[in-house]
Amino acid sequence: MEELLLRYDKEDENKRRFKSEPIELPRMMARQNLIYEYKNYTPKYGWMMMRDKLEELDKQGKLYFTKNGKPRRKNFLDEYSGSEADNIWLDITPVGQNQSEIIGYPTQKPEALLERIIKMATNEGDTVLDCFMGGGTTIAVADKLKRKWIGIDQSVHAVSVSEMRLNMQQGKAIGKTQDMFATPFVKKLYKYDYDMLRYKDAFQFETWIVEQFGGVANTKQRGDLGLDGYIKQPNLAGFENLQGLRTPIQVKRSDNIGRNVIDNFKSACERFDKLAYEKNKAENKPVGFIIAFSFGKGAVQEVARLKNDEKVIIKLLTVEEIVPIAKKPNLRVEMEAPQPPKGGETPEGVTINFVATAESEVGIEFFSWDFHYNGVDFTPEIMLDKAGKQSHQFKAGHHKIAVKVVDGEGLENVEVIDLKINGVVQRS
Ligand SMILES: C[S@@+](CC[C@H](N)C(=O)[O-])C[C@H]1O[C@@H](n2cnc3c(N)ncnc32)[C@H](O)[C@@H]1O
């Protein structure tokens, strides 16, 4: 819009904005029959139109006379119906220059950009899907434009930021009047299996949990001062070119986080980013975060002592405070003793009945069965078995059967059965 106002730089007596454009032909297009005098001016190579058209324009008040008395055509902004968008959009400014929109998400896109895309591609009531939601710009704009939406992100941090943003937009933030017509939405968080996290590769786990917390993970395996990442504080307006202050994060997998871990961490924080340390301390904010599955008494006491004696806050966070954790369903698969075929094993083999039973606090969704499991890829023949009961015929030989159960929160458990069939059925 600003660019348009620059181009339509004049105003007529009725305050209508317009720009003036030439109505004289250039030399290379000279037309003898269009060279005529109009209001004391005769163009050298001719007008762009016949006299009657020129008079018509004048009657409509659409001629503009320069200081030298040269007529030009007025093009009014309110009659401009726009132009087709090009494949490079320069009229939308990045969020960095539009401070009011900033939510602190690193790759945030401007709302005006998403507004254009959503309006181009959808109508009110349509559904917009963003499966890499990040700071939630797309879904927030979709919501404003009365579209239905689904937002997905692997990061709990991204989901929380988007949720807060929508709540603010819909007026659910404290101190705001709630928008009675706002469409309610639900947040569904995937739960993480405790054992899976606990025994995941250490470096992968550290990177992952730092990112879930909204931090930047250390990319080097041997991190700076044993730190695993940091939270970047947004820059102050006017200091955008400086690297933001960094508050360190350390991830510990052991259960015995004692006093010494806290003291070492405190001095690492001091050295990592002195400015951030001093600023956090002065503002009574944590100078660093330690993430672990649990903390020992020594650690908790030392954190309390540092706070009282030295006014230094170190925040202890359990993994469970960052990501929702659940126990995966338990699973047991029983076999019904096969009926011994009359007269010994038939060439077609034996039919075995399986019964799978599973328990989970949130209920069981279904079972899947792979009767030819290769030990690596689970490729089930039966995908959706609600009852957990199957019969299958086996020939003599070795067989691996994998049974998977999925619970109401999407957590899984698998049991693998090894069978040896040779006249008799043996399960090892
Ligand atoms: C570049 S950000 C999106 C920023 C967003 N356009 C905005 O304006 O705020 C990309 C997001 O994709 C998420 N992501 C990356 N891989 C993913 C995956 N496999 N499944 C779901 N989300 C994923 C990241 O967590 C990150 O939040």
Domain spanning 95-169, CATH architecture: 3-Layer(aba) Sandwich (3.40)
Q: In a 3-state reduction of DSSP, which class is residue 334? A: strand
Give the DSSP H or E segment for 234. Answer: none
Domain positions in the chain are 2-79, 95-169, 200-325, 330-427
Do the two domains 95-169 and 330-427 of this chain adopt the same fold? no
User: Which DSSP state fits 38?
Assistant: B
Tokens of 177: 């009047």
pTM: 0.60
- pLDDT attached to residue 145: 96
Q: What is the CATH number of domain 330-427?
A: 2.60.40.10
Atom of ligand 1 nearest to the CA of 114: 8
User: Which DSSP state fits 412?
Assistant: E
Atom 13, ligand 1: residue with shortest CA distance: 132
Cα–Cα distances in angstroms (integers) from residue 214 to residues 197, 208, 217, in the given order: 18, 10, 9
**pLDDT tens figures, 93-135:** 888 766 677 776 778 899 999 999 999 999 999 999 999 999 9
Percent of the chain with pLDDT over 70: 90
CATH 3.90.1520 fits 200-325, yes or no: no
| CA–CA separation, 250 and 356 (whole Å) | 42
Å from CA of 131 to ligand 1 middle:
7
**CB-defined site of ligand 1, < 6 Å:** 105, 107-109, 131-132, 134-135, 137, 152-155, 158
Atom of ligand 1 nearest to the CA of 153: 22
| CA–CA separation, 162 and 158 (whole Å) | 6
Nearest C-alpha neighbor of 151 from the set 164, 168, 137, 172: 137
Q: In a 3-state reduction of DSSP, which class is residue 162? A: helix
Atom 1, ligand 1: residue with shortest CA distance: 107
- pLDDT attached to residue 104: 66
In this prediction, residues 327-334 reach a mean pLDDT of 93
Q: What is the mean pLDDT of the chain?
A: 87
DSSP states of 353-410: EEEEEEE-TT-EEEEEEETT--SS----SEEEESS-EEEEEE-SEEEEEEEEEEETTS
Residue 320, class by beta-carbon neighbours within 10 Å (0-12 exposed, 13-18 middle, 19+ buried)?
middle
**pLDDT tens figures, 388-419:** 999 998 888 899 999 999 888 778 899 999 99
Å from CA of 229 to ligand 1 middle:
19
**pLDDT tens figures, 301-324:** 999 999 999 999 999 999 999 998
Mutate which of 114, 117, 152, 153 for ligand 1? The one with the most ligand atoms within 8 Å of its CB, which is 153
Whether 249 and 289 have beta carbons less than 8 Å apart is answered as yes
Q: How confident is the model at residue 325 (pLDDT cuts 50, 70, 90)?
A: confident
- pLDDT attached to residue 335: 92
Lowest mean pLDDT across 186-190, 242-246, 325-329:
242-246
